[in-house]
Amino acid sequence: MADKKPLGRQKIPMAKIENKDARYATFSKRREGLYKTASKLIGQYDLDIGIIISSPTSKPYSFFHPTVDAVIDRYLNPNTLPSESNRLAAENSRNKVKELIVKLDEYDITENDETDEKIWLKSIDESLRNRLMQLEKGASTSAQSPPYDAN
């Protein structure tokens, strides 16, 4: 039992996935993973990144930051400064990314607050329902008042 590895840690042999649907799903997941990793690197280190990949159906996909021109110019001429237009476009793109990160962080905070509020309200609702059920049970099992006696 101690020698058993979890499924997530096992090596998968490199082989073509024969099932078309599984191959497309795997491609999509890997593409999303690459984009997500690239986005994290951009957020942490403010890098220039370019990714070009081709799907199993030969459809091209790309991801560039800050711009296609800035990444290609930097790749072709790593020791030269970017042109003024590329520099301004890259700066504008970086500013937009920073603004979106701030908005996303604000959204995450409000989303978590709403979730906490919903959990809190749900617990109050459950407590009230339980108390109401206890009161109803208590009322039905308690002795009834004596009938009205006119004498």
Give the domain ranges of the chain. 22-138
Q: Which has the higher per-residue pLDDT, 24 or 12?
A: 24
State the average pLDDT over residues 79-84.
Answer: 84
Residue 31: pLDDT band (50, 70, 90) is: very high
Q: Which CATH class is domain 22-138?
A: alpha beta
pLDDT at 142: 45
Whether the model clears a pTM of 0.75, i.e. scores above it, the answer is: no
Kindly report the average pLDDT of the chain as a whole number. Answer: 80
pLDDT at 21: 93
pLDDT score of 24 more than 60? yes
Q: Torsion angle of alpha carbons 145, 149, 150, 151, nearest 10°?
A: -130
> Which residues, other chains included, contact 35 with Cβ-Cβ below 8 Å and sequence gap of 6+?
51, 63
